[in-house]
Structure 1
């Protein structure tokens, strides 16, 4: 696509049944503002500010579809009791002229079974590399229940006023762990060849589509690459993306990378904030462990603008399904170049934590530059309310009460 023919970054854009006001989405960044699994006023304000700041759609992260599917027990899980709070949130976002999406998923082996007081589930039995707790092999009944739970959660999201749902198929959460040949050692219909390993992801997406039809837009976040030896890799990801496209279950695909279970910094890139993570740990033994051995889990990778673009271009060439570019998008020219190349949307995260009004200022003044320095020190703030530590005090949300146990990092 030539630059002259490229759609406008700040013009209206279609996403399934939606018309969005521009092509910039607020990516899901776990907010750390849902103590006891309830919607807080700080969570509402967090997303209202991003909506007021000019994004087309903000994404609430993370809405677990089952209680054992939370990474820790203070996260939202989708049930009727959370409807009033979710409606307050969606009403607040809509009042600012933006759409709002619910990221739906099951954390699978990434879930903290000790915090949830429920067993973590994965494709195969294993010892968690994070909490040294057991991961139980999901039965066929578990898989069917979790698939139905995604559909039920999508219906609940539609009832709560969400405009879209984003199905989490990445980061070695439940569906993503089945895709991984390193983690999935099953020999039944859900293991072995890629077509079998992709069954969970495809069945979940189809169940959501069957449940909500065109009431809301349906996106999925899919790993291009787990970033671990023997894991899910680009060639298989392209094949899975084609399967999802043929199924007709999705309105768009957001491309991501990395493993929250084995290599989380592969998604974020840049320096790993080990000292800040250690300081955030309330348990002295955990704090010491992060200081001594955290570098084995939180590795540093060179940062560059749009660092997932080269991989994402291969999907652009292979699919007609609308694609969302994620990963190091912080400047207007990056977003405009991505749209000119054919990406339907771009997703921003850390840059918007620093400046929630960045998109609106970019729209008004093309020369606006993001202030984000990609230090990643926002990452440990998930324990007390996700924020940029470099923002002024007036821009920071009120600090949240700490969970009674340490969430998974």
Structure 2
């Protein structure tokens, strides 16, 4: 019998049953091709994590329209990309996990040098980090992007993904409309709480119409944005039931925007599970499953959160880079063998954003290098002498 009965109890998101409560969230890897298409390296990366026993693997941000993203994430705004993603979902399924993909538009949190065209947002307000003034979307362009999300969801379903996640967190386009921090419109898509929520709600409606009534939709949201004038937890608790009313089957509660990135990708000086309170608050407001995330890096903490009724599922990102076998080891009683993420952000954040290289991990030299399926640590025989330099 496992020491973590709640973690390894099957759970449902809509009609999709997952074998346990652990989910790999969407994270950038820089392992796709330059055009965002699927590569063998991207497949191997996700297959390795799936084989480690996680319930579901979420593939990184998938661009829904040419106006977003540039050279990050994967691309799914054209049918020509479907065959590559079908190879990816088949590999994830064969390794024993369900497959999800996150649909994304960056809005103002990018720059035209990456996209090759003007960046867009709810209003002509530059992101303080990216520092480029965006074009405010017209109503016609909003409708175009609404359908772009829906068509990308259709492609995801055709490619074999078991569900999709709409990225409405971290200050990206959906949240740019929802937040008074970034939406200063005075038309039907801004001004009041309900009008700011209109675009995300219309996206959900369009996606639901396109994929049908039974296909699971997850919505990722920042419980708080942690910027002056941004969304608060009370706002999010008010928004969450509205999302569910339009067809969302689960809510994934993250935190922050680019200006508060220290919370979105928390370093080691933030407490483990520091954002669980936000997931628990949202869980009080809705009747669908809630996913908790942020520095939940041990099975013990995951068990405590679920057993305490604070969340239904746990998203583990960086911990599964450090040790893809974490779920299997926990289930098999091999907890002492788990390599734990220390939240240093060197291989998984700095390496991508500063060095422009693919994902790695300082505690797992196999991460992102195509060695995961064969690389194993072997116990030493007898005593060894070691010197640490640096």
- TM-score scaled by length of structure 2: 0.88
Q: Is the 8 A contact 2:108 2:126 kept in 1?
A: no
CA contact (8 A) 1:27 1:349 kept: yes
Aligned-partner Cα distance in 1 for 2:109–2:297: 28
| Aligned-partner Cα distance in 1 for 2:41–2:156 | 19
8 Å Cα contact 2:298-2:340 kept in structure 1: no
Deviation at 1:258, TM superposition (A): 0.8
Q: Is the 8 A contact 1:331 1:370 kept in 2?
A: no
| Runs of 4 or more consecutive aligned structure 1 residues displaced over 3 Å after TM superposition | 71-75, 366-370
Provide the residue aligned with 1:298 in structure 2: none
- Offset at residue 38 of structure 1 (A): 1.3
- Residues matched between the structures, number: 361
Structure 1 unmatched ranges of 5 or more: 1-5, 272-301, 400-409
Over aligned residues, Cα RMSD in angstroms? 1.9
Q: CA deviation at 1:184?
A: 0.7
The residue aligned with 2:35 is 36
Tell me, in whole angstroms, the C-alpha distance in 1 between the residues paired with 2:24 and 2:72.
24
SS of aligned partner of 1:94: helix
Contact 2:63 2:73 in 1 (8 A): no
User: Which residue of the partner structure matches residue 297 of structure 1?
Assistant: none
**Are 1:381 and 2:381 an aligned pair?**
no
Structure having the higher helix fraction is 1
The within-5 A match list for 1:37-56 is 37-56=36-55
- Aligned partner (choices 244, 249, 252) of residue 250 of structure 2: 252
Number of the residue aligned with 1:239:
238
Distance 1:73 1:320 in 2: 34
Tell whether the 8 Å contact from 2:121 to 2:137 is kept in structure 1 after alignment. yes
1:355 aligns with 2:355: no
Aligned to 2:369: 397
Inter-partner Cα distance in structure 2 for 1:121 and 1:251:
28
Distance in structure 2 (CA, Å) of the matches to 1:80 and 1:184: 32
* Deviation at residue 73 of structure 1 after TM alignment: 6.3
Please list, as runs of the form range in 1=range in 2, the aligned pairs for 1:190-229 lying within 5 A after superposition: 190-229=189-228
Tell me the alpha carbon deviations over residues 49-107 of structure 1, each in whole angstroms, 9 at most, x when there is no partner.
01001111101111011011225467424311111110110010011111110100211
Deviation at 1:381, TM superposition (A): 2.4
User: Distance in 2 between the 1:62 and 1:123 partners?
Assistant: 20
The SS at the match of 2:108 is helix
The aligned residue for residue 371 of structure 1 is: 340
Structure 2, unmatched stretches of 5+, are: 372-390
Report the secondary structure of 2:227's partner residue: coil
CA separation of 1:199 and 1:132: change in aligned 2, threshold 3 A: same
Partner Cα distance (2:176, 2:133) in 1: 15
Residue in structure 1 matched with residue 125 of structure 2 by the alignment: 126
The reply to whether residue 93 of structure 1 matches residue 92 of structure 2 is yes
Indicate conservation of the 8 Å contact 2:41/2:368, yes or no.
Answer: no
Q: Secondary structure at the match of 1:318?
A: coil
Question: Which residue does the alignment assign to 1:289?
Answer: none
TM-score scaled to structure 1, two decimals?
A: 0.84
1:10 and 1:22 in contact (8 A); partners too? yes
The answer on whether the counterparts of 1:22 and 1:56 sit within 8 Å (CA) in structure 2 is yes
Aligned-residue offset at 1:17: 1.7
CA contact (8 A) 2:45 2:367 kept: no
Residue 91 of structure 1 aligns to a residue in which SS?
helix
